[in-house]
Each structure stands twice: as C-alpha cells, then as structure tokens.
C-alpha cells in the first residue's frame, strides 16, 4: 500500500472517513489495464485481526502470480470500455465537461488537474511535484477552485464532483 498511496494518505478525508474504518493494516494491489484508459484493481488485504503485515516472501509470491491475475482480468474484462457518452475524452476532460454541464462551473485546465489530484488523495506538495509547480501555487489553484465551486473543504469537493465520475 505504501508504494501506491499518495503522500499524507492517512490524513486525507477518504482515509479518515472510510479507509481507516476498514481496519486494513496492509494491502497488496494488482493494477491491470485490460483496455485503454481502464484499470482494474485487485486487492489483497490484511486487517488488524491478523496482527501482521505481508512478508517479503508473500510479496515475492504475489509478484510471481501477477501474470496469471493479469491474464484472468484481461480475459474477463477485455471488452471493458467507457460508456458511449464519454466522447473519447480522458478523465480530466470528462470531469471538466460534467462539472460545467451539471453545476455551471467552468474550470480551467489547471483547476481541473488540481481537483482530480485532490480527489485522488494527493497533498499540495504531491500535486506540485506532479504538475511541476510549487506547493504555494497549488494552494492558489485550490483556493480559486474552492471559490469558483462555492465550497470550503476537500469533503465538499468530493461530494460535488465524485458522483459525476461514477458512470
């Protein structure tokens, strides 16, 4: 889990309001792409009742079975595609279009990028590194985004945008 979770994952809203309650203490995730712009995540977890994390030997075994998992996932979901309504857009374009259509809010490309990374659990520092801008500049974009959306928190951003991305 530590290899794929954004920095400060344990401090974001998703972790605090949901993930923490799952009691998962360690997780192995297989991330497989059966189709363009589509990923399937197969996760194996250990919760607090097990009182242990995955060992290096178990991680090694998981890596060995990855080709089998990948073959099964790709075979099962080889026809997985976005709905016809996505017009071939990527997630960022789709999100910006749906926010405009649903809420009448026109996000700039940078505001949409920041919103999407916030929703994925990234901190301002992590967003800055990904976008090649300073964390202070990210904070400016977040402030503009929140003002434009008439919200004041990450939880409100999630409530506003996440339902639009479900389909």
Tokens of 108: 């700039």
- Give the model's pLDDT for residue 115: 92
Residue 52's region, left for phi above 0, alpha for psi from -120 to 50, else beta, is: beta
pLDDT of residue 65: 92
Domains of the chain with CATH codes: 9-76 (no CATH), 84-165 (1.10.10.10)
Q: Region 71-94: what's the mean pLDDT?
A: 70
Q: Is the pLDDT of residue 114 over 90?
A: yes
pLDDT, the chain, mean: 83
The per-residue pLDDT for 17 is: 75
Mean of pLDDT values over 64-77? 87
Q: How far is CA 147 from CA 14, 94, 108, in A?
A: 22, 21, 13
Q: Rounded to the nearest 10 degrees, what angle do helices 109-119 and 154-161 cross at?
A: 100
Q: 107 with 99: CB under 8 angstroms?
A: yes
Mean predicted confidence (pLDDT) in 109-133:
88
Beta bridge partners of 15: none
């Amino acid at each position: 889990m530590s290899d794929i979770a954004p920095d400060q994952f344990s401090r974001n809203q998703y972790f605090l309001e949901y993930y923490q309650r799952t009691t998962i203490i360690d997780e192995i995730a297989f991330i497989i792409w059966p189709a363009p712009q589509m990923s399937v995540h197969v996760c194996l977890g250990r919760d607090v009742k097990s009182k242990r994390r995955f060992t290096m030997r178990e991680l090694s075994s998981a890596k060995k079975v990855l080709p089998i998992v990948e073959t099964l996932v790709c075979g099962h979901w080889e026809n997985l595609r976005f709905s016809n309504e996505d017009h071939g857009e990527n997630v960022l374009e789709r999100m910006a279009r749906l926010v405009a259509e649903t809420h009448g809010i026109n996000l700039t490309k940078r505001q949409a990028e920041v919103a999407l990374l916030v929703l994925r659990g990234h901190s301002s520092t992590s967003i800055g590194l990904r976008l090649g801008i300073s964390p202070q500049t990210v904070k400016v974009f977040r402030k503009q985004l929140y003002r434009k959306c008439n919200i004041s928190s990450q939880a409100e951003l999630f409530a506003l945008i996440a339902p639009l991305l479900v389909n």
